């Protein structure tokens, strides 16, 4: 076990995809050590290896932050959400299985197939169907802010399923985070907007997506101690692709590839190759060198990147409701993930 400043890191990466959602894994399952501030992280001397790891983490934050605006761009008149999910699932599954063939061939025990199949439903099918359809209805900034509630979701589910104890700070964090999410979903407390506003419905879909992924993390956790992360993720995506197929086939067949602008085609490649495949590899590389606490700080760059990209591309704008919601959610995630007393 490699231990640096913050949480201890296992030699084998324990989470298949690390983004704003998977911060919650370390909150629940890593052994806490004295916390370290972002300023202290910046002050640490960087070896060449650590410098490359920080560059990898920054690249991941940049990829995930840009993904919100890029994916929404593709769905505006070119590829419908469920068809886009099928493209991503097919592409990612092919890449993960191809990589696995070159690196290692680890067999999955028959007794674990049911758990992996459930992971595919929660972590790919339900998760992505609600995310892409939600992003299609809401705005990139709102989606990126709501996505940061995932550590809170995992804590709630783990408390129920795994009997993880709740400290007063975590209870306060749950209350703050969920209040912020509900405030944003109802667009400032207007419950009627849930039934009249596409954006409110989209925000609700994004929240369901975060809940689904939280359930996925709890479901696949027992597998991570028995298999390499790549083995789990390739099987999860294979099952997920089978589930998505009936939902996305018609929309994928309706895509007019001949009249698609080249930049839209490249944006599709970005989502499949960079957001799903490359970000996974960069995270695996970084986790071998830096602590999960350091990774957690980089995760919070994603909403910032998503906001800057959306504003620069004219796809979103800041609002009072959004800023208040973000403050509540970030405060809640801090209490759940970092607060020590």
DSSP letter for each residue of 53-71: HHHHHHHHHHHHHHHHHHH
Tokens of 12: 């084998």
pLDDT digits (tens, 9 = 90+) for 224-240: 778 888 888 899 999 99
CA distance 107 to 127: 26
Residue 151, class by beta-carbon neighbours within 10 Å (0-12 exposed, 13-18 middle, 19+ buried)? buried
pLDDT at position 194, please?
55
CA distance 186 to 177: 14
188 pLDDT band (50/70/90 cuts)? Answer: low
pLDDT at position 190, please?
62
pLDDT at position 27, please?
41
pLDDT at position 26, please?
42
pLDDT digits (tens, 9 = 90+) for 119-129: 999 989 998 99
pLDDT at position 166, please?
75
By the 8 A CB rule, do 139 and 314 touch? no
Prediction pTM value: 0.72
pLDDT at position 311, please?
81
pLDDT digits (tens, 9 = 90+) for 262-320: 999 999 999 999 988 888 788 777 766 776 556 656 766 777 778 788 887 777 777 78
CA distance 96 to 102: 10
Quote the mean pLDDT of the chain: 77
Tokens of 219: 């479901």
pLDDT digits (tens, 9 = 90+) for 256-273: 999 999 999 999 999 999
- Each domain of the chain, given as residue ranges in start order, spans 7-31+56-337
116 pLDDT band (50/70/90 cuts)? Answer: very high
Backbone angles phi, psi at 3, to 5 degrees: -120, 125
CA distance 323 to 316: 13
pLDDT digits (tens, 9 = 90+) for 35-57: 445 455 445 555 677 788 888 88
What average pLDDT score do residues 57-85 get?
90
Backbone angles phi, psi at 114, to 5 degrees: -65, -40
CB atoms within 10 A of CB 298: 24
Nearest to 231 by CA among 87, 127, 103: 103
């Amino acid at each position: 076990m490699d231990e640096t400043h913050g949480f201890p890191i296992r030699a084998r990466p324990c989470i298949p995809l690390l983004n704003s959602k998977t911060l919650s894994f370390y909150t629940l399952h890593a052994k806490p050590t004295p916390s370290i501030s972002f300023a202290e992280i910046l002050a640490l001397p960087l070896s060449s290896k650590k410098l490359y790891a920080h560059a990898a983490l920054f690249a991941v934050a940049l990829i995930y932050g840009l993904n919100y605006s890029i994916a929404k761009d593709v769905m505006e008149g070119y590829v419908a959400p469920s068809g886009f999910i099928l493209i991503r699932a097919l592409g990612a599954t092919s890449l993960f299985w191809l990589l696995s063939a070159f690196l290692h061939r680890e067999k999955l025990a028959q007794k674990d197939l049911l758990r992996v199949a459930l992971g595919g439903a929660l972590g790919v099918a339900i998760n992505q169907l609600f995310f892409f359809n939600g992003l299609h209805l809401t705005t990139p900034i709102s989606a990126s802010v709501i996505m940061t509630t995932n550590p809170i979701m995992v804590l709630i589910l783990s408390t129920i399923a795994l009997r993880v104890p709740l400290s007063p700070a975590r209870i306060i964090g749950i209350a703050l985070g969920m209040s912020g999410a509900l405030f944003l979903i109802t667009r400032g407390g207007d419950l009627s907007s849930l039934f009249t506003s596409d954006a409110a419905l989209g925000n609700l879909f994004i929240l369901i997506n975060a809940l689904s992924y939280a359930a996925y993390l709890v479901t696949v956790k027992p597998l991570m101690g028995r298999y390499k992360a790549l083995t789990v993720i390739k099987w999860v995506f294979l099952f997920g692709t089978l589930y998505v197929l009936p939902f996305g086939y018609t929309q994928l067949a309706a895509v007019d590839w001949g009249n698609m602008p080249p930049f839209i085609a490249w944006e599709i490649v970005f989502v499949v190759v960079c957001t799903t495949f490359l970000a996974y590899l960069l995270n695996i590389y970084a986790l071998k060198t830096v602590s999960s606490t350091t990774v957690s700080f980089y995760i919070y760059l994603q909403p910032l990147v998503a906001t800057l990209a959306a504003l620069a591309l004219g796809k979103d704008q800041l609002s009072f409701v959004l800023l208040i919601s973000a403050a509540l959610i970030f405060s809640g995630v801090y209490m759940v993930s970092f607060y020590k007393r």
